[in-house]
Structure 1
Amino acid sequence: MRYPAYQRLIDPARPHPQLWRLVAGLVLTGAVYLLLLLGLFSLDLASGLQVSGGGLGRTPASAFALLASFVCVFPGLWLALRWLHLRKMRTLFGPARAMWRDGARVALVAVLLYGVSLLLPGPDAVEPQANLPLSTWLLWLVPGCLALAVQITAEELVFRGYVQSQLAARFASPLAWMVLPALLFGALHYNPAEAGDNALWLLLPAIAFGLLAADLTARCGNLGPALGLHFLNNFAALLVIAPGEAMSGLALFQLPLEMDDPGLRAHMPVEIALLFVLWLGARLALRR
């Protein structure tokens, strides 16, 4: 499988492709993120805001804070790129004009397909329930979208931008630079404390998304498609219909399912199939 356009994202990684640099960069990025996150958490407690009150991610303020906290990823990633790879963060995005163009095309396809999917009944005909009053949802819509943009940009820069390009500079086979970041992306969604026996099953959609986003990134040579697809995917799950109470604070509706509900497994094939259809639609939209 050839990805000629992807060379523009691999080239900045070629001077320093050593695996130890990548591992050290991820450790540095994670350490700075955790330190800054602890600082923000301490500030929250000291100020008495208690945005996590009522359940972490289950109120608009706490869900917004959790998404916005991904801004703490950027300083560590910047340091890792500058100190260990001698490259700039903008080299992770690809050409700006192509990124915005391709991202807009994929986002439009995702809006249309997600809109159609909302009209279709899910497994066992589970009906969404009202979560936030419409006035409250509208009040938080713009801040929620901005925080969501921070979250998905941080994740795409780390996985499809940083990890994938550095692995691609080291290994020629897509099995290495597509599969490994997708598995790592999925592993970070492992949450046995809340998901129980469903924890491993819930990794499958995340891994599938990682593989499809990796392919779109390599095909276009920029992060636009992955950013567009990631934003619409998370918008649907976090701001429109939340699958259960976890991270439901900004959602207009909520499915009456918890992460450890055995019935949730029936939704996995549907979610993966929808991602596959989105990927096919994105590929069609990106054809020159």
Structure 2
Amino acid sequence: MRYNAYAKMLTSAGKQTAYWRIAAVLGISFLVTVLVTPICIGLIGGLSPNIRAFSQTETGFEIGTSQGGLFVILASFALLLVATVVLAKRFADRDLRDITGPAPQLRTQFIVTFKWMLGLTVLMILVPSPNLVNEMQGQMQIGAWLMWMPLAMTGLAVQVTAEEMFFRGYLQTQLIAATRSYSKGMVLAALLFGIGHVSTEIEGIAAVFPVIWAVLFGLVAGDLTARSGTLGPAIAVHFINNAMALLIAPPMGQLSGFGLWTRDIDLNTAYSDPWIICFEGLILLITWLTARIALKR
């Protein structure tokens, strides 16, 4: 299939297609993500317990359980965002709009996709995932939760924009240009996105599910980017997805600082349950189809 709307982004990616350049960007971005970012998070957390991202408790290791700590984690993706812009210019001679698509078109596509995703989210809340109600525990009063929402959404916007700019805006387009294949470029970028979601907190076969899900999400976001020619739809879908995961009922002790409720759930058990896996896969399929309908409106 040829994605005509994608032509401008691919043309800019075609200026520098050497694999060593892509590998260099991957290597430097990896260092930013696994070395520089944790150091910065740790230094910031040392200023006050209220913005400490990581903590050791009697029951285990917790991450992002306070509002300040979770905001620091989300905002730290600004380092990846800046690195993407700088590295894309240095190694691929690509400007900001070369990796995001035209600004007016991006805004329009983001807004229309966001509206449709918001409607889908309301429906999903009315049809909760298996055992969700039994697992939920109140964490904040609605007034306090709403007060934190501007900060939470700002952090989420930074996080999802950074990931989409790197994986879909830069990496996917560079791989498509280098391999001269839409399918190879999209799959390789999605695989790398999935590898980035490997978790040390989940063990055994359960650890495979988040990676597979992230690969599938990467394909969905990659397809939407190619169909639209901007990052707008992918950012909208990514934002709504992460908002549902972090702001409504996140797992207790894991990125739960902004949750209205929390879920007392064993992720090792949940991610080994075929019913939950099928349910999440169905939601992702519906999300992709809904976003495609939105783009045709």
TM range (shorter): over 0.9
8 Å CA contact 1:257–1:264 kept in 2: the answer is no
Counterpart selection for 2:187 from 160, 179, 185: 179
* CA distance in 1 between partners of 2:186 and 2:120 (Å): 25
1:260 is aligned with what amino acid? N
Note if 1:159 corresponds to 2:167: yes
2:51 is the alignment partner of 1:44: no
Shift of 1:244: 4.2
Residue 157 of structure 2 corresponds to residue 149 of structure 1: yes
Match of residue 289 from structure 2: 280
Question: 1:222 matched to which residue of 2?
Answer: 230
**1:92–1:125 Cα change, 3 Å:** closer
Shift of 1:76: 2.1
**Cα distance, 1:43 vs. partner?**
3.9
> Counterpart of 1:282 in structure 2: which amino acid?
A
2:46 alignment partner AA: L
Aligned CA distance change for structure 1 residues 244 and 273 (closer, same or farther; 3 Å): farther
Deviation at 1:121, TM superposition (A): 4.0
2:148 to 135, 140, 145: 140
Q: CA deviation at 1:212?
A: 0.7
TM-score (norm 2): 0.90
Residue deviations 1:146-181, cap 9 Å, x none? 000000001000101110010111123222111111
Aligned to 1:115, the other structure's residue is in SS state helix
Aligned length: 287
Residue type of the alignment partner of 1:183: L
Identity of aligned residues (%): 33
Aligned counterparts of 2:73 and 2:32: Cα–Cα separation in 1: 16
SS in 2 for 1:250: coil
CA distances 1:101-134 after superposition (whole Å, capped 9, x unpaired): 1111111111111111111142246533222222
Q: Is contact 1:5–1:219 with CA below 8 Å preserved after alignment? A: yes
Contact 2:247 2:258 in 1 (8 A): yes
Match of 2:14 in 1: 14
CA contact (8 A) 1:244 1:258 kept: no
**For residues 43 and 219 of structure 1, what CA distance do their matches in structure 2 show?**
40
Q: Which one is further off, 145-154 or 82-91?
A: 82-91
Partners of 2:146 and 2:260 in 1: how far apart?
9
**Following superposition of structure 1 onto structure 2, how do residues 1-288 of structure 1 map, counting pairs within 5 Å?**
1-33=1-33, 34-45=35-46, 51-52=52-53, 54=55, 55-124=62-131, 126-127=133-134, 128-191=136-199, 193-197=200-204, 198-262=206-270, 265=273, 266-287=275-296
Read off the aligned partner of 1:85 and give its amino acid letter.
Answer: A
Q: Which runs of 5+ in 1 are unaligned?
A: none
Distance 1:140 1:129, change over 3 A: same
CA RMSD of aligned residues (A): 1.9
Gaps of at least 5 residues in structure 2 are 56-61
* Distance change (3 Å), C-alpha of 1:204 and 1:48: closer
- Deviation beyond 6 Å, 4+ runs, structure 1: none
Relative to structure 1, the CA distance from residue 50 to residue 67 in structure 2 (aligned partners, 3 Å threshold; closer, same or farther) is closer
Tell me the TM-score normalized by structure 1.
0.92
- The structure-2 alpha-carbon separation of the partners of 1:225 and 1:286, relative to structure 1 and needing over 3 Å to count, comes to same
Aligned equivalents of 2:190, 2:230: Cα separation in 1: 17
Other structure's SS at 2:250 match:
strand
Query: Residues of 1 paired with 2:271 and 2:181: CA distance?
Result: 38
Shift of residue 85, structure 1, vs aligned partner = 1.2
Letter in 1 for 2:201: E
